[in-house]
Each structure stands twice: as structure tokens, then as C-alpha cells.
Structure 1
Amino acid sequence: MFEQSVAHSPEATAVSDGGNRLSYAELNRRADDAARVLAEHGVCPGDRVAVHLPRDAELIVVLLGVLKAGAAYAAIDTSYPDARRDLMVRSARARVCVSATGRPAPSESCEVPVVGWPAAVTETSGEPSVTVRPEDAASMVFTSGSTGTPKPVVLEHRNLVAFARNRSLPTPRREDRVGQISSVSFDLFHYELWCSLAAGAEIVMLPPVPRLLEGGFQEELRRRHVTVLIPPTMVVNQVVKAEPTAFSSLRLLLTGGDVLLPATCTDLFAAGFTGRLINVYGPSEGTTACTWHDVTAADLKGEPIPIGRPLDGCTIHLLDEELRPVAVGEPGQIYLAGSGVARGYLDREEATRERFLEHADLGRLYATGDLAQQRVDGTLMFLGRVDDQVKIKGYRVEPREVEHFLSNHPQLREVAVLTIGRGEDRRLAAAIVGHDDVCLRSVRSYAEEQLPAHLVPACLVLLPDMPMTAHGKRDRTELRRLLREDAERDARHVAPETDLEIGVSELWQELLGIERIGAQENFFHLGGHSLLAFRLALQISERFQVRIEYADLQRHPTVRALAALIGTRCLEAAR
């Protein structure tokens, strides 16, 4: 597939990284050299090669070289901690690890030889004489394991080729410049790499998202003439919030990996985006994406953004617990069939048997663990995870249902609902990202007035941004930690007693975006700072007609102490 693009446009630019630019012919020649280097280090067809390189043109050279050597690559993000890198190298059972010269290499416990890159190349003409079959392994992507050990998903050449050449997936054109922005360990990287090379487009290696935001996201995309981008959904949600015009110059913006917010889409289009916005869905085990949806104005009316319809060659079955099809409009687990279904998990036979099934009527299926429902028009709506369903006060609850409901509140931008506690003490907790005018009392009243009691979150926690993993997905571990902290604070709650204490607590709740602030809690420990203290002083002056200085708040930082000071000042003013 790649060499067809080389033959068609040998002088066209294949990849650029700001400092280097390689044509398709140069990239092909350099990849041949890389394949020979790997062979000299003992890499044989069927082996696996860990690739631990920065995101630049050399990374693309080495990945292609691995395939030309007949091996499969496991791309490891260089931002990962050393322990995670070593765990991935061991899980892949790599023959060698290609690592940048001068950078930390896998520890000796991995027992894997390290090939420093760039490496000296033996002068040899011609291409490596290795025959690659469609069913050979090409790539490994790591997914989370319930035991804490990542599971390597084995993707074959035919999986990647079917994805890159899919006729229904909006893909780059030959004249496009595709920004490479995803983690190389995340499956969206397959689109940036293989869909670009299959089309003969240029891959533009971009700086990390924080640096793009610091320097002006839109300016950098325009400067590099990027026309196609596929960032993770959480990145899109957060970038549009920070810089609504960031993507306005793109012809094609695709995103996947999490819930695309209607508010994000609304802000994106309002800021002048005129390209196509595509929401894709699919697990790593289905080769990046198996459904797609072209987002339009009709999708921005409060409902979650659909995940759309299956790609060509992919079949989606919504089945119940007995593996029977569910009716239209009913929730069912998503089972995948077709050209994108991976081989399985490397060295995880039990996990492979559990998730990759042979159905008597439907053939080989992958059980995603995701819930969806089909609308009358055939469009699929994502509902959440099967294992997210919990019992609260005897009721079976789907937290995603509460997320969808709360997301319709006009003051809220993003919502994540999780469970905290155990047994009879289990309850829902909501982490929310709001607009500037968010009022937690309004949000709670909204929920209490329209939801049954068992669906109303026990606590609401206001966050400046939703925490993300390195892959650009919601960091559920960090969310649970934040929600647990709030629950522990709530357990130590000492209720305000006097009218003054209640009044001060209410002011803090509004200002800090925290529910139920107790009499003994410290303004600064709850996130207060000098600017918020200034606003608090103004509100105290308006409400109690007394003057409070910043130094007063430093000396009296708790609700009870500050209320006592206000009481004293009120008495002094009345004399």
C-alpha cells in the first residue's frame, strides 16, 4: 500500500517535522535501510520490535522499517514513565527496542537489546527480501488490563490496510497535510500514519497540545498548512473551550476516543469552522474506528453526538446478555464483526477467548463491553460501558444517563458521573466543568426537580478542566481520587450553626464552587487565593455592611472564625 504511493508520487513530501522533510522516495529508501539495520540485530519475520522514539520523521522511518523486516511494531510514547515503558516492552516480548541515542533506554530487567537510533547503515542496494502476508502481525496497541498489566492487541496487515482504504471513512486527499498530534501509543495514530500514506498525503509532525496552545493553536496549524487533524475527543473539548477558533482553518476534523460534547460542537461552528466534523467510534481491538458520523447543526440540540453508522466492511451487532439481537431503541452491547477485528491479545489466551467470540450465526465477533442503541433512522447512540451499571439504593443505574441529563444544563460544559463508596453506602458523584456563571445550587435544583432521588448525585465537584490521560481520554482514576477527596471532606463536615456562619458558608460555596462547606473549613485549603479573597471581601461588604481586609481573612481563614470576626465588626459598627 505504501509503495504504491511511492510509485505514484515519489517526489511528493511524505513526512515533515519542522526541521526535516522526506519525500515518498526518500522515506522508502530510509525505511529499507532501517529494515536492514534491524535484520543485522537479529530481527526476523514474525518478531516484535518496541519503538521508543520522539515524534519526528525518524519515527516514521523506523516504523516502516520494522514492517519491511517482516516484524510488528509496538510504538511507545516517550512521555510515559520508565516503569510503564518497561512494562510495555516486556508485554510485547520485543526482540529489540529501538531507542533514541542519548535518551533513557529500557532497564536491564526487560532483557531486550537496544538499537540506538540513528544507526549506521551498511551500504547495500535493493529492498529487503522479505515477503509479508496479509495475515501477518503488523502492530500492537496496548489497552488497559483489569490486573494492571496492559494487554497488547495484535493487529494484522489486512486490518490496517482495510482501515486505511475504507471507502466510507473520510480520509485525506493527496494534496492534504495531516497533522500528527496523537500519542503514538494511541490507536488514532493509525489514521494519522496509514490513512495519510495510503492517500499519498503529507504527515506533519506537530508539537504537543500544551505547546500548541501556548503559541496559538490556529496560528501553528495555518503556518504549517495543516488541513486534516484527528485529535482525541477530550483534546477537542478542551482546546475549543480555550481557543474556539483553533480548528477553523481545517478541511477535515475527525475525533474519537470519548464523548464529543454538543457544547463543543456548537462553539466550534460558532467560531467559524466550515470544514467537516467527523465523530468516530471504535476500540483498539477493532482497528481504531468502526463507525463514523458527520456532525451537523441538527446534532446540537442537547442530545449526545451520535457515533453514527458502520464503516464499509464493518458490522455492528447490538446483542443482549444471551447474545440475541435487541429491538430498535433498546440498549445492547456492541459486538463487532468484519475486516477490522484484531487477531487477539498477545499471550492472553483466556482474555482473547473471553472477548473474541465465535457466534453460531454471526461468525467471529469482538465483545466491546460498550452499550449503544439504534435509532429508527439506523444511527447508533453510545450509552456507556456495560460494567458501568451499578445498583444505587436497590435501583440499577447507568451513570452515563445522568451525565447526559446534566449536560443539558445551560451553565455546564462537561460532566463526568462516577460511583463512590461501597455496598449500601454506594452513591453517585458528579465532576463538572462549567461556564463562568455556573451555580452549584442551580445545578442541584435542576437535578432534584427532574430526576428520581436515586439518580441525583450525592455530591457535585466543580473542576476547571476535566482531567485527561496521556491518550487524551478522561482520566477516571484521577476523577475518582478527586471525588473521594470531596467525599472525605464531606465526612468531616461540621455544620455551620449561627446565621452568620451559614451566610459565610453560602458565600464560599458560590465563590469556590463547592457544596456543603463546614464551619471548620479553611478558605485557602479549599482553593481560595488572593483574587478570590478580594471578591469575597466585596460580597461580605454588600451582604453584612462591614469591611474585611485580605489580612483579616489570613488571620481568620475558617468559616467559624471569619463569621465571629464579622459579628464583632457588626457590633462595633452599631455602637
Structure 2
Amino acid sequence: MTTPTLLERFAEQVAAHPRAVALRHTGTSVTYRELDEWSGRLAARLTAKGTGPGSLVALAAQRGPAAVAGVLAVLKTGAAYLGLDPAIPVRRQRRMVEETGPHCVLAEPGLDQFPTLDAPRVTLAPLAEGPLHQAPEQEPDEDALFHIVYTSGTTGNPKGVRISHRSVRGRLEWMWQDHPFPENAVLAVQKSLALVASPWELLGGLLKGVPSVVLATDELLDPVLFAAAVEQERITHLFLTPQLIAGLLQESAERPGGHRPVLVTSGADTLPVDTVLRFREVWPDTTLLNLYGMTETASNVAAYDTARLPAGAERVPVGSPVAGASLSVRDRLGRRLPAGVTGEVWVCGPPLALGYVGGDGEDRFITDDAGVLHYRTGDRGRRLPDSVLEITGRADNQIKVRGYRVELEEIEATLRKAPDVTDAGAYAENEDGETRIVACVTAGEETGAAALRAYLRDRLPDYMMPARIQQVPQLPLSTNGKLDRTALRALVAGIGQERAAGFAPSDATETAVAALWQELLGAPPASADQNFFDAGGHSLLAVRLANRLATTAGRRVPLRRILGAPTVTAIAALCREIQQEEQI
């Protein structure tokens, strides 16, 4: 019996449950029939612009129902898509578009940032009328391109990974078969459509008749709102980073007897043992899977049920192969290593990507002596006695920051192009379980960290921004002439953090805000109007700031208000305003 295509599965749900809710988002809902007609009208407009099998559509959308409608519309035409996240700097988006040369742009209003691209446009907005797309005579084959996903690259530019229908379908089919949805299941959608794991959230529940709840940005940044959304929407299935799991557990522990998910999957970063143990305490009946994979393998190729984690374990294994993948541990010559011996992890099988856009980095894809194509992950790992895989580290300078892959070489290459900078080096440090990037530069003259941070913010996504930028006399090199990151870390530690001299708190509230600022960022504010994010802050640190300000303000400070005015004086004024409200 032939396995139904993705579009056939969607059509089955539309026919069986046309009035059932397909998507919910910020108090609104979209039924299967509405989503089918919306995506069908978009597909008709795309087709009228010449989009079809073999085409690539630049799809620019916020996380929401429009993103799902856009993906379905592209699939209905037989084309592939390049997902563009509005949170990514425009310069970076434009480079992706220039490199891939999409045939058409499908963008929500205000998100078409490509004025020089000579390609037709279709606006990604609800359509109440217009022709519906007619199903193509032939579906794309398994090796056809499904989407292109960009990830950090070692050459100084992001790398585009070409992912096939076969890879995406295999990931979906594995989850549907091994972890079928129970009755009354609800799936959370919280990933950008530009991420490799997004097809599971966008289509995993949708194609099985399971309503999907698209979470708002505020709900993802704020653990209190996140936990409330999970409770209110009765969400049963979540695919989260370890950091989001930890925040959700903290809030859920304060709501004993509340709603509990059925399945939580963790991926994109190392899952700490402590988080697994805490998970067992808070949600003892919920399954927590630790997943392993990368962009070049269309998301996940191994899974481990953390209920199996033995007492006293030092690491959480990534488990056994899934989705048809085959994993092996090999030495530097490509020879297989026995269980217990550490080497590089290789992956082969259906999940493998088609390759990179432009061929950059193709040496990662290698054919072994048996003629089988593998992807060399760069991860160091070993097989445990029970045959499950454990990851022990990296063989290169790739790191994970808040679940995102970051190549330190890309940050360095970007900094070298900044005005007056002659060279750059970067390293990562771990503080309170969080990875922080420290960047160092040499320059012809004194270069301010604020100016360099502004330069980077225009070119790199938020998660790649260094927590600290330090000018040094010269970068230490190893005997082979390469950057010595260990010596660089020691050099920066000897310099110490730059101390601010221009800020004097005017009252106890500003003093309290400044103290929290220094606690979170490692240095006091340089001035009353210094921007929290220009000082090295990011979204998760802003959440912590909001939480800890509750003691000063008398109740929790709204995160949105902090993001709107992230300076010491503005935050202190907000605290005073809340204090006065509490006294009334």
C-alpha cells in the first residue's frame, strides 16, 4: 500500500473534519476548510506567477497561521521554500535570497525586504475570494527539494542546507508511528519556519487532525505566560530546548495539580541530567525524549527516552537511531570504533540533506569504502554498553547557544570586516548553565565595544551576539599559527571586565536595578540611558531581569514594558509606577 503524500494527508483531514479547528493563535482559530481555501488561493496566485515544481519561493512570515498557510501553498504548487525569519537581520536575509535566487517572494505585509530582487511577489495575507489551485498531475518525488534552511558557517557566512521531501517525510512518519497522538492531543507551535525542526510543528499535528496552538512571542520569552498558555490551551505535545523546559518546569512546579503534557521532546542542545531529574519530580507521568540531530540530517536522527536514565548518570544519552538513520562512531581515518571508544559520529540514511547551497562545506558529506554517503557531524561520541549513543563534545569550534548552532569562526570573520578592526577571535564560556560568547578584537586604534556591537547586530542574529567584546593588544597563537582560544580566555580573565564610571543611581530603585544589571551582565551600567541589549543582554536575560525585579517593584514587571525601554532609568521608573499601583 502506498504511503499517502503530505498533501493527501491534509486533504483527508479537510474532507473528514472541515469545520474542526486546525490552528489557534492569540485568541483566534482557523478551521481545516478555511486553511485549505486560504492556502489554495495563495497557491493559485503563486502558480499564476510561474511557480511550480523545481521553483523556490522565498517565504517571509512571522510565526502564526499565515506561515502554515504559506507552507501549504508552496507545497500545493510543487515548489520548495526558503523560510525567512523577520527576527534575522535584513542584511543576512538578503544574502540568503541572493545566494538562492528564489523564483517568487511570498511575504506577509512589511516583510518583503528585498527591493533589488527581480522576482514576482504574492502577498501572504488571508484571501476571502479568488480561484483555488488545482492539484498538480504529479507530486514531487522523494528526492525533490522541500526547503532550504540556513545555519551558521565556518567561512564567515551562513550555510544553506538543501533538504528533501524524503527527509522531512521520514521525520514525520517516525513520530507518528512511534509516538502516536492520543485522543484530545494538542500540539504547540513555537519554532520559526526558518528552522530545520519546524516541519514537525507546522505539519505534525495538522496532518493528523490534531489542533496546533501557535504560541505568541511573549509566551515563549516569559515562563509565566508560557506555563499559563500550556495550561489554558491544554497542550499535550511540546518540542523545546532544555532552557525552555527548565523555565516551564519552574513555573509548573508552583501549580501542583495543574495540566500536564503527554510528550515533551528536547533537542538542539545538551539536555542536563539535573533537568531530567527535575522533570521526573514535576511531571512524573510525562514522557521526555532527548533528541539528536542537526540541520544536515533534517532535524532528528536519534532519540532517548529519559525514563531509562540510570541513577548517577553524568550525561543524558541521545539514544538509538530513528527515522531510518544509521549512526556510527569512527576514527580520523573513517574506521568504525567499538563500543566504549570515543570518536566522531557519522550519520547515513534517508535523513541526509541533499547538500549545501553553492557546495560550501561539501567535505562534510563523504562516501565510505562501501559506497555509502555519510555526514560527518563533528560531534564526539561513543556507544554505551546498551548500544545507545552518548555525545561527549565537539571536534571543532561549533557551540550551541539557546538551542542554536553557532560557528565561532563566523563571528570572528564578521568582526574582521568592522571598521578599524585588524583581527578577531572568540571563545565560549559557560555560566550558570548558559553559554556566553566572548569576542576579542585587535584594532589600529581604540574601538568602542558599543560601536562593534551595533555593527554585529546589523549582521548577526541575536543568539550570535557576544556577551562581551574586549579589545586586546594581540591574539595569542598556537605553535601552528592558529588562534589559541585557551590562552585567549586566560588573557581576557587577566584584563578583567571594564568598569563603568559614569553612572550614579539617584535613588534606591535605580540602585536595585543597577545591581541586578551587574549581576546579569557582569558589569554595571555605563550610563543611565545605556541599552540593556547593547550592554550584552539578550531575551532570556531580560526575562530573568523581569522576574527578579518583582522584589523591587512589589510584583512581577511585564517583560514587554522592559523590552520597550531597556535602560536603567526607564526600568526604575517602571518599578516606581508599579509600586504606586500596589499602594493604591
TM range (shorter): 0.5 to 0.7
So what's the TM-score if we normalise by structure 2? 0.66
| Residues 1:264 and 2:275 aligned together | yes
Determine which structure has greater relative contact order: mean sequence separation of CA pairs < 8 Å that are 6+ residues apart, divided by chain length. 2
CA distance in structure 2 between the partners assigned to 1:233 and 1:171 by the alignment: 23
Report matched runs for 1:217-296 at 5 Å. Answer: 217-240=226-249, 244=253, 249-296=260-307
1:62 is matched by which residue type in structure 2?
G
Contact between 1:227 and 1:252, CA under 8 Å: does it hold in 2? yes
Give the direction of change, closer, same or farther, for the CA distance of 1:203–1:429 in structure 2 (3 Å limit). Answer: closer
Match 1:45 to one of 28, 50, 53 = 53
- Deviates most, 370-379 or 197-206: 197-206
Q: Deviations over 1:222-244 (max 9, x none)?
A: 11121101022333245445665
Counterpart for residue 112 of structure 2: 105
Amino acid at match of 2:386: D
> Displacement of 1:272 after TM fit?
3.7
Query: Contact 2:271–2:290 at 8 Å: present in 1 too?
Result: yes
Q: 2:41–2:132: 8 Å Cα contact kept in structure 1?
A: no
The aligned runs of 1:107-506 (5 Å cut-off) are 107-118=114-125, 123-124=130-131, 127-132=134-139, 133-166=141-174, 169-173=178-182, 175-208=184-217, 213=222, 215-240=224-249, 244=253, 249-296=260-307, 298-299=309-310, 301-348=312-359, 350-352=360-362, 354-361=363-370, 363-388=372-397, 430-433=429-432, 475=463, 478=466, 481=469, 487-488=491-492, 490-491=494-495
Residue identity matched to 1:254 = T
Deviations 1:490-539 (A, max 9, x none): 23699xxxxxxxxxxxxxxxxx889xx9xxx9999999x9xx9xxxxxxx
Distance 1:210 1:325, change over 3 A: same
Aligned residue identity for 1:325:
R
**How big is the shift at 1:324?**
0.6
- Displacement of 1:166 after TM fit? 1.2
CA shift, 1:250, in A, is 0.7
CA contact (8 A) 1:69 1:130 kept: no
1:246-285 CA distance string (max 9 Å, x none): 8962111011001011112222222345210011010111
Q: Which moved more, 1:243-252 or 1:297-306?
A: 243-252
Query: Per the alignment, do residues 254 and 37 of structure 1 end up closer, same or farther by CA in structure 2, a change over 3 Å counting?
Result: same
Q: Residues 450-502 of structure 1, C-alpha deviation per residue, up to 9 Å, x if partnerless?
A: xxxxxxxxxxxxxxxxxxx9xxx9956525748979954623699xxxxxxxx
- For the residue of structure 2 that corresponds to 1:165, the secondary structure is helix
- Match of 1:163, SS state, is helix
Mean CA deviation greater in 107-116 or 376-385:
107-116
Q: CA deviation at 1:157?
A: 1.3
> Is the contact made by 2:58 and 2:84 (CA closer than 8 Å) also made in structure 1?
yes
Q: Which residue number in structure 1 is paired with residue 12 of structure 2?
A: 7
Residues 476 and 117 of structure 1, relative CA distance in 2, 3 Å threshold = closer
**231-240 or 337-346: bigger deviation:** 231-240
Query: C-alpha deviations, 1:29-48, integer Å up to 9, x for none?
Result: 32222111111222232111
Q: CA deviation at 1:184?
A: 2.1
Specify the code of the residue in structure 1 equivalent to 2:121: V
Secondary structure at the aligned position of 1:270 is classed as helix
The 1:125/1:85 distance shift into structure 2, 3 A limit, reads: closer
Match of 1:413 in 2: none
Between the two proteins, the alignment pairs up a number of residues equal to: 441
Larger Rg: 1
Shift, 1:203, TM fit: 1.4
Cα distance in 2, alignment partners of residues 35 and 146 from structure 1: 37
State which drifts further: 308-317 or 169-178: 169-178
Deviations 1:57-103 (A, max 9, x none): 121111111011111011111222222222222233211222212x2
Please, which runs of 5 or more residues in structure 1 have no aligned partner? 390-398, 401-415, 436-468, 495-511, 533-575
SS in 1 for 2:431: strand
Deviation, structure 1 residue 218: 2.0
Check conservation: 1:241, 1:264, Cα contact below 8 A.
no
Gaps of 5+ in 2: 1-5, 401-405, 413-424, 435-456, 471-484, 499-517, 528-534, 537-544, 549-584
**Contact 1:315-1:336 at 8 Å conserved across structures:** yes
Cα deviation, residue 315, structure 1: 0.5
SS of the equivalent of 2:245 reads helix
Give the stretch that moved more between structures: 181-190 or 315-324: 181-190
Q: Which moved more, 1:216-225 or 1:303-312?
A: 216-225
| Farther off after superposition, 293-302 or 363-372 | 293-302
**Counterpart Cα distance in 2 of 1:474 and 1:43:** 33
Q: Residue 2 of structure 1 contacts residue 197 of structure 1 at CA under 8 Å; is this kept in 2?
A: no
Deviation, 1:382, is 0.8
Pairing of 1:85-104 with structure 2 (within 5 A):
85-101=93-109, 103-104=110-111
> RMSD value over aligned CA atoms?
4.0
